[in-house]
Amino acid sequence: MPIHVDSCSRRHFLSTSALLGGGLLTRFSLGAAADGDPESYALLSDTHISADPAKVLRETHLCDNLKAVVAEVKGRPKRAAAVFLSGDAALNDGQPGDYEQLLTQLSPLLGEGAPPLHIGLGNHDDRANFRAIVKPRGPATIESKHVALVEGRDVNWFLVDTLRFTNKVEGELGEEQRQWLNAALKAHADKPAIVVGHHNPQFPPAAQAENAEATQVKHTGIVDTELFVSLLESHRHVKAYIYGHTHNWSHQRRESGLHFINLPPVAYVFDKARPNGWVEVTTTPGKAVFKLHALSKTHPEEGATVELALGPTS
Ligand SMILES: [Zn+2]
C-alpha cells in the first residue's frame, strides 16, 4: 500500500484520502494474510452522510451511527484487509460537502497502516462530485462508472457502480459496465468471485406479463437485472452479489447456487424491526462467512451469520 502520511493538515488529509480511495484501480492486490489465517473485510452500506454533522433523519443521527460503526471496524482484533462502502454514501443528492464530511467521519479508517477503502455509489450519490472531492486513485477503468477489482487471498471482489441518475430510485449496470465485468470475470476465473454494488436485483414480473397491473410495477432496483444476473450466473466462480439500497439485511440463495446478500444500512432502517450496522466477512480457502454486527447489541439478529461455500468453480 503506497501510503505516506506525515501530517494531519486538512490539505494533506484530503490528498491522503485520495490515495486510499482505491476504487478506480483496474486491479488492486491486497497484502496476503498468512495461509490458514482467515482474511477479513468490513462491509458498510447506506451511510447517508450530510455536510451537517448534526443531521438527524428518520430519528437517526447519521454521523453518530457512522462513528459507532467506524469505531467497531477499527476495534476488531484483526485488521480488515479492505473496507467497502456500497453506496448511498451521501445524504440525498451527493453534495460536495457531504463527501467532505464523509471523509472526516471515515478518518479513523484512513492513514498509515489503514486498510484500503473503496466507496461505491448509490442513487443518492453524485459521481462527478464524488470524484472531485474523494479523488479516487488511478485512471478510470471505464469513464461512465466507478468500478474496481480488489484481489483478496481467497476471493476476488468486483465492485460495480449501479448509480443511474442521482436522486432517482432505480439503478443500472449499463452495457459498458456489463462488458467490463464480463471480461474481468473471465480473466480472473481461477478464484471465487464476489460482486458488490448498491442496488438490489429486481426481476420483471414475467409470469404475469399479460396482467396490465403487473407490468406497471415500479422500478426501484436494477433495471437491467436479467442481463446482469444471467451474466453472473454464466460465470460459475461468481458466488454472490452483495448490495444495500433497501436498508434491509437479508439473504437468499438462487437455484443456480448464486447468493444474494442485502447489507444492513449504517444509517436508518425503513422498518424499525430490522437491524442497522455493518457486516464482517471472513474468508478461508473453503468458505466466506458474513457476520452481522448490529448497532443495537440486543437486536435478535446481532451476530447472525451467512455462510458461502467457495468450493470448486466448475
Ligand atoms: Zn440508502
Domain of residue 244, CATH code = 3.60.21.10
* CA of 191 relative to ligand 1 center, distance in Å: 31
Alpha carbon separation from 274 to 47, 144, 235, 277, 287 (Å, rounded): 16, 34, 33, 10, 26
pLDDT of 1 above 60: no
Signed CA dihedral, 131, 136, 140, 141: sign only: negative
Residue 259 burial (10 A CB sphere; 0-12, 13-18, 19+): buried
Residue 1 burial (10 A CB sphere; 0-12, 13-18, 19+): middle
pLDDT of 221 above 50: yes
Position 113 scores a pLDDT of 84
Which of 73, 80, 108 is CA-nearest to residue 293? Answer: 73
Residue 30 placed within a domain: no
Residue 16 placed within a domain: no
Position 5 scores a pLDDT of 25
Give tens-digit pLDDT for 58-107: 999 999 999 999 999 999 999 999 999 999 999 999 999 999 999 999 99
Choice between 242 and 144, residue whose per-residue pLDDT is larger: 242
Cα 83–Cα 304–Cα 77 angle in degrees, nearest 5: 45
Distance CA 188, CA 73 (A): 29
* CA of 169 relative to ligand 1 center, distance in Å: 9
Share the mean pLDDT of the chain: 87
pLDDT of 24 above 90: no
| Residue range of the domain that includes 300 | 36-309
Give tens-digit pLDDT for 185-217: 999 999 999 999 999 999 988 655 555 555 567
- The region of weakest confidence among 38-52, 113-127, 209-223, 230-244 is 209-223
Distance CA 22, CA 188 (A): 19
* CA of 245 relative to ligand 1 center, distance in Å: 5
Q: Are 180 and 142 in contact (CB under 8 A)?
A: yes
* CA of 123 relative to ligand 1 center, distance in Å: 8
Residue 165 placed within a domain: yes
Residue 228 placed within a domain: yes
* CA of 23 relative to ligand 1 center, distance in Å: 20
Position 186 scores a pLDDT of 97
- The region of weakest confidence among 211-220, 272-281, 286-295 is 211-220
- Say how many domains are in the chain: 1
What number is the average pLDDT over the span 284-300?
Answer: 97
* CA of 31 relative to ligand 1 center, distance in Å: 31
Residue 212 burial (10 A CB sphere; 0-12, 13-18, 19+): exposed
* CA of 301 relative to ligand 1 center, distance in Å: 20
Position 23 scores a pLDDT of 34
Residue 295 placed within a domain: yes
Residue 1 placed within a domain: no
